[in-house]
Amino acid sequence: MTQTHHLALREVSIALDDVPLVALDARIGPGEVLTVMGPSGSGKSTLLAYLAGFLDEAFAASGQVILDGVAIQGLPAERRGIGLLFQDPLLFPHLSVADNLRFGLPRHCRDKRARVEAALAHIGLADFGDRDPATLSGGQKARVALMRLLLSEPRAVLLDEPFSKLDTQLRQEMRDWVFAHLREAGLPSLLVTHDHQDAEAAGGRLIELSV
Ligand code: ADP
Ligand code: MG
């Protein structure tokens, strides 16, 4: 299932009230994780919002976002083919674990039931399909969130401090698990974080932002 997607940021620059906040130029290859580090308020989430297509209009942004050779910065969020992973797993509370995964699948895909079952088994939750997501542990929720994202067949992935709400013991395990899966899927990924251990676990290039 390995794919070869590329994400490039060409002279991306974001300002707030005419004051420059973030500027970045980068290329991310298939299976590569680029980490952008910066303290709170340095514009990390704002950068991801621009790339994903939901930047607040308070900001002024310029620069190209090129996914597989195509400029996507003018497209609406849902047509960009970018997957997002946040601090909160954001599972749908009114859907079962299986239906949360099913939601990730492309609408016209066949064998939905079989694919959901395979996905549940892959994340070690084979018997949890009928569960209410609220009954899962933090680590289980995080695994469902990543699997739902992978099932949606994104062409690039953005991660916004996705481990910060997990307890210390689980955090390292989840870092390793998430980055191994992103690499295996061949997806270009951009991680933003203020945590050096996140950056270390990502194991790729590192760019530091300042405030
Ligand atoms: P980080 O994710 O690095 O902590 P953010 O990207 O969330 O930083 O925020 C960068 C700066 O932009 C902060 O000074 C924040 O207060 C400001 N900011 C964030 N969202 C908005 C908004 N919708 N309108 C105005 N200012 C905002
Ligand atoms: Mg943030």
| Residues sharing a CB contact under 8 Å with residue 107, sequence separation 6 or more, in sequence order | none
Q: Which helix (H) or strand (E) holds 98?
A: helix 97-104
Q: Which domains are delineated in the chain?
A: 7-93+138-208 (3.40.50.300)
Q: Is it the case that residue 164 has pLDDT exceeding 70?
A: yes
Closest residue to atom 25 of ligand 1, CA basis: 58
- Residue 126: which of 98, 164, 149, 105 has the closest Cα? 98
The tens digit of pLDDT for each residue in 134-148 reads 999 999 999 999 999
Ligand at shortest distance from the CA of 37? 1
The tens digit of pLDDT for each residue in 17-57 reads 999 999 999 999 999 999 999 999 999 999 999 999 999 99
H helices of 109-185, where?
112-122, 138-151, 168-184
Q: 188: helix, coil or strand?
A: coil
The tens digit of pLDDT for each residue in 76-97 reads 999 999 999 999 999 999 999 9
Q: What is the pLDDT of residue 3?
A: 73
Q: Which residues line ligand 1 (CB under 6 A)?
A: 16, 21, 38, 40-46, 56, 58
CA–CA gap between residue 45 and residue 5 (Å, rounded) = 22
pTM over 0.85: yes
Ligand 1 pocket mutation, candidates 46, 59, 158, criterion most atoms within 8 A of CB: 46
